[in-house]
Amino acid sequence: MAGRVIVFGSLSQDLHLPMERHPGTGETVMSGDIEYRFGGKGANQAVAAARAGATSVFIGKVGDDPQGHEYLRRLAAFGVDTCRMEVVPDAPTGTAIIYNDATGENMIVVAPGANHRMALADVDRLDDLTPDDVLLMPLELRHEVIIAAVERARERGARIVLNMAPYAALPAEVLAGCDPVVVNEHEAGLLARAGLEVPSLLTTLGARGSRWGEIEVPSREVSPVDTTGAGDAYCGTLAARLVLGADRRAAMTAAAEAATACVLHHGAQPPLPEDEPATADAR
């Protein structure tokens, strides 16, 4: 019986601002109409894992506000297990402001809100991890919490997939326990400059595909609409295929296709069938 993908991470309401080009320092540019969507690396990856066929469990926190409650309903509709989510009264649901230019490239500013209420005590929610499970984590939580989660997963024998986004120079012994550490080319360069060697390193190469050790997998060439969330689609699908028994090449191939599909729609997550382009309740 296959294990689960347990995502320990963040979520956010995404506010998208479309524009012809990104502003320079001190410059004001005009935007198109604001659009309200759903994101956060943890939630994006949990949705991707569920869509790839895995049992996907998300552990995180939302504010006790309309955005948070709407997000919980949305995750459940995608098949993500939200039983370990917590609604907190003392912080808003996380928010990200995403600036999309005419080429599909983006710039993102995140206000973590309830995501930064994740504390060391929350690591206890990982106590039922087994060697059949994969713990998937991006780095949008407090780093001491992430390090403790890696240690707990290692104690339980679970596989750890760590997505080093946004980049942080975690201790080498933490990275050594992950299989794989997933980075993009920029993050790979930062690792190299920090002198950190990672035994199992998977580098995503944008339109050129991805590389894990000696294995290289190409990506299908497309004209991107919006690159937001492509890395998360890759990581969530990769973890799902690994927990379902795929080898590295097969998991990377499925992950690359998921990332390609992601850049062909607006927003980090695909719409639910009943969704309007901007869900009023999410505001």
User: Known catalytic residues?
Assistant: 232
Taking Cα atoms as reference points, which of 165, 175, 216, 180 lies closest to residue 195? 175
Residues 6+ apart with CB under 8 A from 83: 57
Report CA 106 to chain centroid distance, whole Å. 16
